[in-house]
Structure 1
Amino acid sequence: MATTEQQTPATVLAQHGLSVEELYDELSDKCTRPLRLDDLLYEAADRVPGLVPTRAEIEAERQRKLSDKTGVELGQGLLTAEILANPRIGRHLLESMLRPTPLALERLDELRSGGGVDLGHARVTRRGRAGVLELCNPRHLNAEDSTTLAETEAAVDLVLLDPEIEVGVFRGGVVDHPRYAGERPFGAGINLTHLYHGRVDFLFYLTRDLGYVNKLYRGLCDGPEKLWIAAVERFAIGGACQLLHVMDHVIAVNGTRLYLPARKEGIIPGASNLRLPRFVGDRAARQAILSGREWMAGQPDADLICDEIVEPDQVEVAIDARIEALTSSGLINAAANRSAIRAGQEPLDLFREYMATYAREQAYCHLSPALVSNLEEHWNADRRRL
């Protein structure tokens, strides 16, 4: 993997008489045209050859295993980092990523008229005044990868856009894995087999955290935000555990495993480095991220992550009770308090600055030979089939 021999975005742009800010202004019509991150980077590739990879170059990268990638995706991370480091254009990019996706807008009438939408890897069903979002990747224990991302984001959009839905519920779909057949594991995190075989692009990390995870936390740009309940069964590993940091109420089945395997994977666990210390304290967060500490729902130390512990046969009753509790007094004050808490804990500029660092450092992690070695050693990825 050639990850360290590329010119910086500033150097490449200077050869074309441009700065990062000038390029962004040109592509976004001076921050009046919203651009999703992938579209922005591909337009930048067309505008300034050699700055970041083109769509064709990324498609060619997808045909290579992680160990065989050329490293062209590094440019995407470096340019995104410089954009996010600039307060004006960085905020515009964040706000652009908080807009509803075309897929959600296409399916909104279906949800409003029929009470449910099946997007494939994500499903939304109206349940009283709540919208239940199920992440559905049954073969891979509800892991996330490039096949699930767009549909999950659209599902979040749909819950936020439907005026008859007052609160969201996020849970895993029913899986058919022999060990967990008929159960609803919350999520296994990033699909490590797909990652090892090169099927997960670098942009997956950024699109996920700037897209649907940030929408769970902040709502839509110039649109509604709603409270979210997590119904956590069996395990919440990696990216699934990260979701608990942006939920307003976490219902967990007694004995559920909560785990961020960042050390064994060799990547940064999304925004957990920013958010987890608020829940468990700095020392415990470092133990989790750097040394592999786990939590088990029902044990005292997990009370900082979970709000409510139930037995497996009590999950549905607990969900309905929490929906009623959150909606019975109206949502105006709840959303206002949620927004005020966030303003004190994680204002948008703090998140922007964090994501600038994340974009740069995660690009190096994604393209590091150490990631390949970790996947082989801890996951046996070289012996798993797609």
Structure 2
Amino acid sequence: MTDRLFEEAWRHVRVTRDGPVVEVQLHRPQARNALDNAHMEELTEVARLLRLRADVLAVILKGADTYFSAGADLKAAGERARPTLMQTREAIMRGPDLCKAWEEIEAVTIAAIEGYCIGGACALVVACDFRIMGKSAYVRLPEVPLGMNMSWRTLPRLVALIGPSRAKQFVMFGEAADAARCADWGMCDELVDDGQALTAARAWAAKVAALPPLPVRMTKEAVTAIAAANAHASIYMDRDQFLLASRSSDYREGVQAFLEKRKPQFKGD
């Protein structure tokens, strides 16, 4: 019987294992691991294949040695023909589905973050159980300054991690939060020297793998359920909010200014 998780010829991810620990690497170096549709679909499929595996006790999510991911691929988005509202509404579930798939993995998930982790990639690591960061790493959500809302069903997870005031700061201003601030806020579980995030994540995974697996999974499920008890009711409209925002002149101006490396001029339209 073949094991698709390890034998599939994935294009944009690398999947390896060491006993009960699986490592999943974002691998789209030509685009700084930016998340286009194909990349998100592969990451989602990998997570779904991992979800109920009893032989996997911990999963490490990692990027490149000096960066994690540049986030959603805005250049690829700009190259597509303008879809209908229905097509867009269907397509923008890729991000929420990706984060949900990683949140639902029963094994403990650990993100090892070096360098920048931006936008959708930040949403992805927030959906993991733990985050280990090199001291020069940072996370950033640039969506609001680009003229869109923060979607991907991320806000409840973020509020549960860092609280409402810090979540508002982080999302509204779109400013980078360095590793030290993330540790202070509770978004980073261990701060390490640059280049050591993966080593530390492997140590966490080994600690998890040494524990009795059933109560570990029960604890993860219970804590996640408590933290997300009202999540769906509070955030289910975020993709329709994105539909509205993405039809605005401010959204087009924000993305164009980003691509042209200039300051945007917003008009509230």
Gaps of 5+ in 1: 1-106, 175-182, 220-224
Partner amino acid for 2:237? T
Question: Which residues of 2 match residues 128-147 of structure 1 at below 5 A?
Answer: 128-147=19-38
1:274 to 137, 156, 164: 156
**Does 2:13 correspond to 1:122?**
yes
* Kept after mapping to 2: 8 A contact 1:145/1:204: no
**Does 2:102 correspond to 1:212?**
no
The offset of 1:208, in angstroms, is: 2.3
Name the structure 2 match of 1:49.
none
Q: 1:116 to 1:229 in 2, by over 3 A?
A: farther
* Kept after mapping to 2: 8 A contact 1:169/1:228: yes
Gaps of 5+ in 2: 263-269
Aligned residues: 256
1:378 to 228, 246, 258: 258
The offset of 1:163, in angstroms, is: 3.6
Q: Identity over the aligned pairs, expressed in percent?
A: 21
| 1:4-47 deviation line (CA, Å, top 9, x unaligned) | xxxxxxxxxxxxxxxxxxxxxxxxxxxxxxxxxxxxxxxxxxxx
Alpha-carbon distance in 2 for matches of 1:302, 1:266: 28
The offset of 1:116, in angstroms, is: 5.3
* Kept after mapping to 2: 8 A contact 1:266/1:365: yes
Deviates further, 240-249 or 313-322: 313-322
Name the structure 1 match of 2:167.
285
Q: 1:250 to 1:236 in 2, by over 3 A?
A: same
Name the structure 1 match of 2:55.
164
Alpha-carbon distance in 2 for matches of 1:315, 1:301: 14
| 1:292-330 deviation line (CA, Å, top 9, x unaligned) | 232101347645110011113423421221111111012
Name the structure 2 match of 1:179.
none
Rg larger in structure:
1
Alpha-carbon distance in 1 for matches of 2:182, 2:172: 22
Alpha-carbon distance in 1 for matches of 2:49, 2:104: 15
Partner SS for 2:93: helix
**Does 2:237 correspond to 1:364?**
no
Name the structure 2 match of 1:263.
144
Partner amino acid for 2:126? H
Could you state the TM-score of these two structures normalised by the residue count of structure 1? Answer: 0.61
RMSD: 2.4
Name the structure 2 match of 1:6.
none
Partner amino acid for 2:12? H
The offset of 1:193, in angstroms, is: 0.9
Name the structure 2 match of 1:352.
232
